[in-house]
Amino acid sequence: MNKKIVMNTVTTLSLSLLIAISANAQSPAKLAATSEPAPATAKPSTGSDKVDLKKLEDKYWAAKDEDYGVIQNRTFSKKGKFYASLVYGPLINDSFAKARAAGGMLGYYLNEDFGAELSYLSYDSKQNDTVTSYTTLPGAVSPQFNLIKNSMAASLTYTPFYAKMAFMNKGILYFDMGFTLGAGMTNYEIQKTTVNGSGTAVPTNEMKSAPHFEIGVMQQLFLSQYFAFRLDIKNSFYSQKLQQYQLGSGIAESARAETTKSVNDTTITLGLTLFTK
């Protein structure tokens, strides 16, 4: 009897629990109305995840931007500036003469690399000690030689090198180096004498001009945006006329022998350059 009562009690409690759960359960419509919207499903990718190595290779080897420069901003810019230089220095390779050149340059820089320049150099040429010693020997005959007097030229300048360097760990110095190529005229004096009626040798030197072309190396060390030290090594190439230095007494001038020779004058000058704003 007791066993039957216990079984009925358990059955009754189980049915009550199921009814309570059913009463509190929400309908599908109510659930759809109150539930959070489901997140959108990502669309499947239509492309491939593989890296296109060919495109990467073509981009790597593509030509670089032509406007790009190694040094974008120069501390001392020359582009669009006029300049004037005063220079002085020796003629170093004449076998018969010693001379110092003094002169100047006027120019304009089209950009940082290219410019145009006019130059003039005047030489205080005189025969060197070797010629002087030789001609003072008894019976010696002077060699045939000429003395350069001045030169002028128009040149193009190209300055591909620009750099900076430390000075004794105290500061930074900026400099550039370039080349000049030009053409102009050289004036020189033919050295010769004529023996007069009394037997005295009288100088009858004669001025001549010859076209020349020149190449040079130039370096500038900037002190500020307006000033720079300038060093030039100029080589001029042209032909000179040579005449017999001395004629014997009573010999007509028309008998004086004349030849030509190729000349390379090398001049080293140092000076100061002034730039405009």
Residue ranges covered by each domain of the chain: 71-137+147-186+207-238+264-275
- Mean pLDDT in residue range 42-69: 62
Per-residue pLDDT tens over the stretch 157-192: 999 998 888 888 888 889 999 999 999 999 999 999
What are 67-123's pLDDT values in tens digits?
555 555 678 889 999 999 999 999 999 999 999 999 999 999 999 999 999 999 999
Cα angle 120-87-95, degrees, rounded to a multiple of 5:
75
- Name the residue with higher pLDDT: 152 or 203: 152
Least confident piece of the model among 84-88, 126-130, 264-268: 126-130
What was the pLDDT predicted at 29? Answer: 46
CATH number of 71-137+147-186+207-238+264-275: 2.40.160.20
Q: How far is 230 from 94, CA to CA, in rounded Å?
A: 23
Residue 70's pLDDT is what? Answer: 54
Pick from 49-63, 156-170, 186-200: least confident: 49-63
Do 65 and 87 touch, CB atoms closer than 8 A?
no
**Ramachandran angles phi, psi of 141, nearest 5°:** -115, 130
The total of other beta-carbon atoms located within 10 Å of residue 167's CB is 9
Whether the per-residue pLDDT at 250 is higher than 60: the answer is yes
Predicted confidence at residue 74, as pLDDT, reads 73
Q: Is the pTM of this model over 0.85?
A: no
